[in-house]
Amino acid sequence: MSALPSHPDVAGEQLPAPSPVPLHPHRGPGLTPVVPIAAAPGRARANHADSVTDPTRWFGSFALAVVQVLAGGRPAQQLVRWVTTEIYGSVARRAGLHVRLHGRPTRPAHGRVLSARADTTRPGVVEVCAVVHDGRRVRAVAGRMELFRGRWRVVELQVG
């Protein structure tokens, strides 16, 4: 017995295939449908460093964000997705201590990445370092990143 009730008018009839629906609501019929990049041939997500963001550039941006969090100019919650829970807890505690001792900055410091390097130790694992100017002083940031669900995640972090 079927789980779905059959309709007496269409029992045994061949139903026509549904008409294709455009993927984008503003594209009319007859236009080429929009195909997401992830679905394009040859662009499947693999679990290796070639298919994700360049680790050197990614860690440079991440290091700048960490330094801004530690200076009180950025909330620590912005790092949650990119670090382990242990690292997040450590950075959040250190940032909270800095804010309690020195207060929040009155105007945001615009830091910049001076240099960044990465060295692949094995597939999916990269050791990285960066030198960042946080607006007041130059700081060194080093760590280890691993691929986790198709994106980089920092599993070790040292900030000088």
Q: Can you tell me the distance from the alpha carbon of 99 to that of 149, in angstroms, rounded to the nearest whole number?
A: 33
Q: Is the pLDDT of residue 2 over 50?
A: no
Q: Is the pLDDT of residue 56 over 80?
A: yes
CATH architecture of 51-159: Roll (3.10)
Q: Where are the domains of the chain?
A: 51-159
User: Residue 109 in contact with residue 93, Cβ under 8 Å?
Assistant: no
Tell me what pLDDT residue 154 has. 96
Which stretch of DSSP H or E encloses residue 152?
A: strand 151-159
pLDDT band at 156, cuts 50/70/90?
very high
pLDDT digits (tens, 9 = 90+) for 81-119: 999 999 999 999 999 888 888 877 777 678 899 999 999
pLDDT digits (tens, 9 = 90+) for 10-45: 455 554 554 444 444 444 444 444 333 333 344 444
Q: Can you tell me the distance from the alpha carbon of 137 to that of 121, in angstroms, rounded to the nearest whole number?
A: 30
Count the neighbouring beta carbons within 10 Å of the beta carbon of residue 109.
14
Mean pLDDT, the chain, as a whole number? 76
Q: What's the average model confidence in pLDDT over 41-67?
A: 72
| Tokens, residue 100 | 């309690």
Determine the residue type at 130.
A
Residue 68, Cα to own-chain centre: how many angstroms? 18
**Dihedral angle of Cα 49, 54, 59, 65, to the nearest 10 degrees:** -120
- Got the DSSP string for 131-149? EEE-SSSEEEEEEEEEEET
Tell me what pLDDT residue 106 has. 72
pLDDT band at 125, cuts 50/70/90?
very high
pLDDT band at 48, cuts 50/70/90?
very low
